[in-house]
Amino acid sequence: MKILLLHQNFPGQFSHRATALTNRGHGVLALTDSTNARTSSTQTARYRFQKPAFDQTGSVLARSFADHAARGEAVARACMALRDKHTFEPDVVFGHIGWGETLFLKEIWPDARHLLYAELFYRTRGLDTGFDPEFQRDDDWQRIRTTARQAHLLLAMNGADQALSPTRWQADSFPQHLRSKITVVHDGIDTGVVKPDAAASVELPGTNLRLKAGDETLTFVNRNLEPYRGYHIFMRALPEVLAARPNANVVIVGGDDVSYGTKPPDGKTWKSIFLDEVKDRLDLSRVHFVGKVPYPMFLDLMRVTRVHAYLTTSVWLTLE
């Protein structure tokens, strides 16, 4: 078959799938945003997208859908070019639901099977609204705004033949009337790469500290350090944790930007705000901020960590 994979940050969740489909003899083409710097062995085409300026006279409730529809339009134009200039006719179109990329593709390739990676549905109670009262209002207006953000997800699901979620919990975030379209299939773990190693060690950038398996190492990893991913809760717990474990080192991986949720006050980062809140009660020689790290170093960190803490608005896990 000819299969088109859509993801603004490809390969994203399609990394293993793209390889497996190619190895089975299918023709796989990925379509991604032109600004995506990630590399892949999969043949890749790119579309150009510029976020539209928001009309300040319009309703703020329409802003999210306007942004996603504009991205869907950019993808649709790229797909029309693939069809008309390159005679590309996929049997399967499989895209991530999150950014509007798949919204209009059923009209371009009506005979193809259209699949979605259904990662999460916005909920007005318990997830994006009201989970953490310190950062999320729980009132009528906030629930209305969250409802408005569901528009592109509902439209995408309406145009899909089937969808896939990696966990039952994520599938259950979608309304019941859409669940019949969703199959739960875990993304999988490449255990040839991600596996224990009793001899593993890792030297932290900018230090002379080398951590090895068996050391008391606590890790916290996110794309960006922000409240939506529980960074504030983690930092506030550290004084008590380090006092109880005098030999422990803490390695914090993540950038200073915002991926989800609210932005910090102008001129500040969430990293500095919550570090400043507790730093007088911390032994900072045992707290190591390493920024964003290469994947091989991340794997070594996971191999040496004694406890990995993962906190998020969507899921709360602590793994040892």
Q: Are residues 164 and 222 in the same domain?
A: no
pLDDT in tens, 53-89: 877 667 888 888 999 999 999 999 999 999 999 999 9
Residue 190 lies in a domain: no
> Is 70 exceeded by the pLDDT of residue 168?
yes
Instruction: Classify residue 196: in a domain, yes or no.
Output: no
CATH number for the domain including 238?
3.40.50.2000
Total structural domains within the chain: 2
Q: 316: Cβ–Cβ under 8 A, 6 or more apart, which residues? A: 230
Q: Is residue 192 part of a domain?
A: no
CA 31/CA 109 separation, integer angstroms: 15
State how beta strands 113-117 and 162-165 pair: parallel
pLDDT of residue 145: 86
Residue 136's pLDDT is what?
Answer: 65
130 pLDDT band, cuts 50/70/90, is low
Is residue 74 located within the same domain as residue 222? no
Do you find a cis peptide bond into 11, omega within 30 degrees of 0? Answer: yes
- Whether residues 160 and 13 share a domain: the answer is yes
Residue 33 lies in a domain: yes
**171 and 262 housed in the same domain:** no
Per-residue pLDDT tens for 94-122? Answer: 999 999 999 999 999 999 999 999 999 98
Decide if pLDDT at 275 tops 60.
yes
Domain extent, residue 119, equals 2-184
- Structural domain contains residue 195: no
Domain-terminating residue out of 184, 211, 233: 184
- The pLDDT value recorded for residue 263 is 85
- For residues 236 and 115, membership in a common domain is answered with no
- My answer on whether 54 and 152 are in the same domain is yes
Q: Does residue 222 fall inside a structural domain?
A: yes
> What tens digit of pLDDT does each residue of 218-256 get?
999 999 999 888 999 999 999 999 999 999 999 999 999
Q: Is 17's pLDDT higher than 70?
A: yes
Could you give the CA distance from residue 263 to residue 266 in angstroms, rounded to a whole number?
Answer: 8
Q: Is residue 189 part of a domain?
A: no
Residue where a domain terminates, one of 124, 152, 184? 184
Can you tell me the mean pLDDT for 128-137? 69
- What confidence category does residue 315 fall into, taking pLDDT thresholds of 50, 70 and 90? very low
Q: Are residues 176 and 243 in the same domain?
A: no
pLDDT at 317: 34
Buried b (16+ CB within 10 A) or exposed e, 38-59: eebebebbebebeeeeeeeeee
Q: Does the structure show a pLDDT above 90 at 206?
A: no
Same domain, 145 and 98: yes
Query: Residue 91 falls within a domain, yes or no?
Result: yes
Verify that 59 and 26 share a domain, yes or no: yes
Residue 12's φ and ψ, nearest 5 degrees, are 50, -130
- Asked if 281 contacts 239 with a C-beta cutoff of 8 angstroms, the reply is yes
Q: What is the pLDDT of residues 33-47, one digit of tens each?
A: 999 999 899 999 999
| Pair (40, 74) in one structural domain | yes
d(Cα 170, Cα 318) in Å, to the nearest integer?
A: 18
The set of residues, in sequence order, having a beta carbon less than 8 Å from that of 7 and lying 6+ positions away, is 13, 14, 30, 32, 95, 96, 101, 117
pLDDT of residue 319: 32
Do 117 and 81 reside in the same domain of the chain?
yes
Q: Which of 184, 214, 244 is the last residue of a domain?
A: 184
> Quick one: pLDDT band at residue 272, thresholds 50, 70, 90?
very high
> pTM for this structure?
0.82
240 and 178 within one domain: no
